[in-house]
Amino acid sequence: MAKATFYKHFPSKDELVVAYIEEQDRLGRAATAALPKQPPREMIAAIMGRISEAVVAGGWRGCPFLNAAAEYPDPTSPVRHAVNARRSWYHDSLRDLLAADGDPVPSVTASLLVAVSDGLLESAYLDDPESVPALVREAVARLLDRR
């Protein structure tokens, strides 16, 4: 597709990136909503397990949200607002599941899981993506079993 066609639909690169980020967010939320309902701890493992599925599918080029945030460092940009909306949803989803599981500090544990997710997503791009599923399982077990 020609660059002119893109700009016919998206007047600027920023608007194109926002549309892409919002679509990736929508797809991720839908995939999470489609997971079979399970007890909170198993839901957390299933949500985190989606990282494994994404990175071992082939052609992983890094997390679109982290990549966009790196390219748009201004926290007031529309791209960063779209990225932050995704990150807030992800954090809050984990926090709510952790609270339901009885975590004494669900917001802190959710922040740790988000940070681990970020690291695993980037590690899959920089290192061996095949190592990520075991790391996901180990990270979830260590963070959830520490109580």
Instruction: Please give the Cα distance from 120 to 116 (Å, whole number).
Output: 6
> What pLDDT score was predicted for residue 147?
57
Residue-range definition of the domain harbouring residue 30? 11-144
Say what angle helices 13-33 and 78-100 make with each other, to 10 degrees: 20
pLDDT of residue 60: 87
pLDDT score, position 70: 96
- Alpha-carbon distance 16 to 12, whole Å? 7
pLDDT of 4 reads 74
**How high is the pLDDT of residue 140?**
94
Q: Is 1 inside a domain boundary?
A: no
Retrieve residue 77's tokens.
């940009």
* Counted domains in the chain: 1
pLDDT one digit per residue (tens) for the chain, 147 residues: 677 776 777 778 888 899 999 999 999 999 999 999 999 999 999 999 999 988 988 888 989 999 999 999 999 999 999 999 999 999 999 999 999 999 999 999 999 999 999 999 999 999 999 999 999 999 999 999 875
Residue 68 belongs to domain with CATH number: 1.10.357.10
Does 3 fall in a domain? no
